[in-house]
Amino acid sequence: MDSIDSSAERKKFEAVWKRVTERTHDPYAIPAYLSTDTAAQPSYKDTENTVNASAYGHTGPAGRIGSGENYSDAEEVKPLCDALLLKRFITEETHIANRYHALSVRCTRRDISILFFRLYSESRSILRKLQAGLFILTGDLLKLQPIKPPNCSFMQILLDLYRTQSDAVTALEDASNSAALKKVSLLFLSVAAYKRKHITVLESVIERVI
């Protein structure tokens, strides 16, 4: 895929990638495997979990339906972009779910603690939807170990979580507009809708605890 860097598709992806990965408030860095530098990434062609190109919803040239041979880089970059975006949101949702759990444990008010645990359960459900989307697209199953939340106050974790969710809505909507496959685009919109509801709940919680 050496020619991807100079293709119009690659340039379009890099512009979208820059928008959806810019996080003013998110303290978590994007892992190296999500880098847009293709030289630093493993090729999907070389992994044993790779599925045939036809599984991405594309077909090869006439007379070679289902074959991954002689596939153009411009065709291959489209599902690769979707996969990278899915990995990016899986990573972020893993951290979000972990923060919800931390808030549930730390909160001294039982009613709010129960509410945070419900949000944690919903976040885990969102995470599974994203993981399923990636598995269907690539055959890869990405499960990450949660990172321990920052050693800061309950209110700071709550504020960081609110800001992260707000940023995520914008990122998901941008990603939906750039997704190559309609089912991936719809998935991003569905997750964004869930997050909008969570933002409303978090605003209510902030009003109750300040």
Q: What is the pLDDT of residue 18?
A: 63
Residue 70 CA, distance from chain mean position:
30
Provide the 8-state DSSP code for 42.
-
For position 79, what pLDDT does the model report? Answer: 72
Q: pLDDT, tens digit, for every residue of 28-65?
A: 444 443 334 444 444 433 433 433 333 334 434 333 33
Q: Which residue has the higher pLDDT, 23 or 199?
A: 199
Annotated domain spans of the chain: 2-209
Residue 22 burial by CB count (10 A; 0-12/13-18/19+): exposed, middle or buried?
exposed
> What is the spatial distance between Cα 66 and Cα 138, in angstroms, rounded to a whole number?
15
Three-state DSSP state, 30 = coil
Q: Cα separation of 11 and 16, whole Å?
A: 9
Sequence letter at residue 135: F
Q: What is the pLDDT of residue 151?
A: 78
Question: Is the pLDDT at 198 greater than 50, yes or no?
Answer: yes
- Eight-state DSSP code of residue 20: H
The answer to whether the beta carbons of residues 95 and 163 sit under 8 Å apart is no
pLDDT tens-place string over residues 148-182: 766 789 999 999 999 999 999 999 999 999 999 99
Q: Determine contact, residues 179/188, Cβ cutoff 8 Å.
A: yes
- Give the other-Cβ count within 10 Å of 85's Cβ: 29
* One-letter amino acid for residue 123 of the chain: S
Residue 3: predicted pLDDT: 43
Q: Which CATH superfamily, name and number, covers 2-209?
A: Ferritin, core subunit, four-helix bundle (1.20.1260.10)
Residue 185: both structure tokens together = 């685009």
**Mean pLDDT across 134-159:** 86
Q: What percent of the chain has pLDDT over 70?
A: 61
pLDDT at position 152 is 84
- Among 32, 165, 155, 176, which Cα is nearest to 95's? 165
**What confidence score (pLDDT) does residue 124 get?**
96
The percent helix, strand, coil of the chain (3-state, each to 5) is 70, 0, 30
Q: What is the pLDDT of residues 86-95, one digit of tens each?
A: 999 999 999 9
User: Which amino acid, one-letter code, is at 116?
Assistant: F
Yes or no: say if 165 and 192 are a contact pair by the CB < 8 Å rule.
no
How confident is the prediction for the chain on average, in pLDDT? Answer: 76
Please tell me the distance from the alpha carbon of residue 20 to that of residue 23, in angstroms, as a whole number: 8
Q: Quick check: 184 and 137 in contact, CB under 8 A? A: yes
Non-local (6+) Cβ contacts of 197 within 8 A are none
